[in-house]
């Protein structure tokens, strides 16, 4: 089986590897634009764009991708609080504002995944949601975290797998989804492609 991950996220690669899936990485470089506004539809649309972009890039590089046992995985993750989607911060000040929004309350993390099997002509998109509750944080804790290196490449300005973990009170749902990819769900969906 040939797996292609259409993401440059080292966290997604690690999550797949942990469940026994070892993909090659191919970033399509598509511009992420969506007209969707609901978080679960946003992540599914963007994951689809990434997977389709990688599929097109493979066709361009190799002539065709319609070979048996090739599966392309695209993924996207957003953090949502009060219906507002929080993307990746562009500055430490923006990260500080995002952390202030989620401190002391519950927010949602949505990951969308698209799997394409070009040979079979199959494509499927799905989304997972996890509720995350953050302990109250002092102004100093918010500032110190926001001005560290950790939040700058992460949706919602935090990484649950890093030292922000000390502020997580509880999660309701899939932990790996919060890291960036619902790895167990990906494996289960891949199984349906194989039967």
164: which 2 tokens? 């922000």
Phi, psi of 132 (to 5 degrees): -125, 125
- Round to whole Å and give the CA distance between 31 and 147: 28
Other Cβ atoms less than 10 A from the Cβ of 5: the count is 26
DSSP state of 129: E
Check if 76 is active-site: yes
Number of Cβ within a 10 Å radius of residue 82 = 8
Choosing from 45, 69, 76, 172, the catalytic residue is 76
Distances (CA, A) of 34 to 50, 57, 74: 12, 20, 15
Active-site annotation, residues:
76
């Amino acid at each position: 089986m040939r797996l292609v991950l259409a993401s440059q996220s080292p966290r997604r690669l690690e999550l797949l590897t942990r469940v026994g899936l070892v993909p090659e990485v191919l970033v399509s470089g598509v511009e992420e634009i969506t007209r969707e506004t609901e978080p679960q539809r946003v992540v599914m649309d963007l994951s689809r764009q990434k997977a389709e972009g990688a599929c097109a890039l493979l066709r361009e590089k190799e002539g065709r991708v319609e070979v048996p046992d090739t599966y392309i995985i695209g993924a996207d993750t957003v953090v949502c609080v009060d219906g507002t989607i929080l993307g990746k911060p562009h500055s430490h000040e923006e990260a500080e504002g995002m952390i202030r929004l989620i401190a002391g309350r519950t927010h949602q993390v949505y990951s969308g995944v698209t799997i394409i099997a070009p040979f079979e002509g199959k494509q499927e998109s799905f989304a997972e949601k996890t509720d995350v509750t953050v302990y109250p944080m002092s102004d100093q804790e918010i500032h110190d975290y926001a001005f560290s290196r950790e939040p700058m490449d992460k949706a919602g300005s935090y990484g649950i797998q890093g030292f922000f973990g000390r502020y997580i009170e509880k999660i309701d749902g899939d932990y790996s989804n919060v890291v960036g990819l619902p790895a167990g769900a990906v494996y289960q969906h891949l199984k349906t492609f194989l039967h």
